[in-house]
Amino acid sequence: MKSEQILIGNMAVFCYLVWCEESKEALIIDPAGNEEQLKEKIDKYGLTLKYIVNTHGHGDHTSGNRRMKELTGADIVMHEADDTLFRSPEAVEKYRRMGLEASPPADRTVTHGDTITIGNVSLNVIHTPGHSPGGICLLCEGNLFSGDTLFVGGIGRTDLPGSDHNLFMQSLKERLLTLPDGTVVWPGHHYGPRPSSTIGTEKLANPWLRQLAYML
């Protein structure tokens, strides 16, 4: 697996380009700004974009879906719960007022335990509801693309429509804290002091994970 972390848009969103070196098949995680520049990067590396994958359905992570699909022909992939919730008229109007374009319907929906494959690279879907009903993380070769589930030093909000704080704590405890300490965390926003971390570091330095770790 090869990957590149790319800071995009005006909300400090981290987008990730992930590809298989042998086949040159690729996927992009949470494109929500600078779509033409992202396409130029894909072309520069000689990649074929197979999937546009969203860690969740919020507009700051999905607003580039339509344009990326137009530019590349890639399929949009999202958890089934968020694909339904964030295409509602209320959600579409909310994001329109924020200047964000709602995503077209997903071409493929996923759930916990599914695998997304590009060439010889497989990313395992970990369903981590709480920030949103269909929030997911993607695990591949010791790398966790954590979206808004886990930041460097923090976690996502739970005061938004569809959020659930207790469910979020359960997701962190049962599905992320159980990963090996050396797992590299690639967050959905550049909110922390560093662009990446590890599960082991977050257990020690992230107050939310530190609290939960004591309960294991």
- What are the structural domains of the chain? 2-214 (3.60.15.10)
Residue 171's pLDDT band (boundaries 50, 70, 90)?
very high
pLDDT at 98 (0 to 100): 78
Task: Provide mean pLDDT across the span 26-41.
Answer: 96
Residue 91's pLDDT band (boundaries 50, 70, 90)?
confident
What is the chain's Cα-based Rg? 16
Q: DSSP H helical segments within the chain, as ranges?
A: 35-44, 59-62, 65-72, 80-85, 89-97, 165-171, 199-205, 207-214
Query: Is pLDDT at 93 greater than 90 in this prediction?
Result: no
Query: Is pLDDT at 10 greater than 80 in this prediction?
Result: yes
pLDDT at 184 (0 to 100): 98
Q: Closest Cα to residue 133, out of 104, 99, 167, 176?
A: 167
Query: Is pLDDT at 96 greater than 90 in this prediction?
Result: no
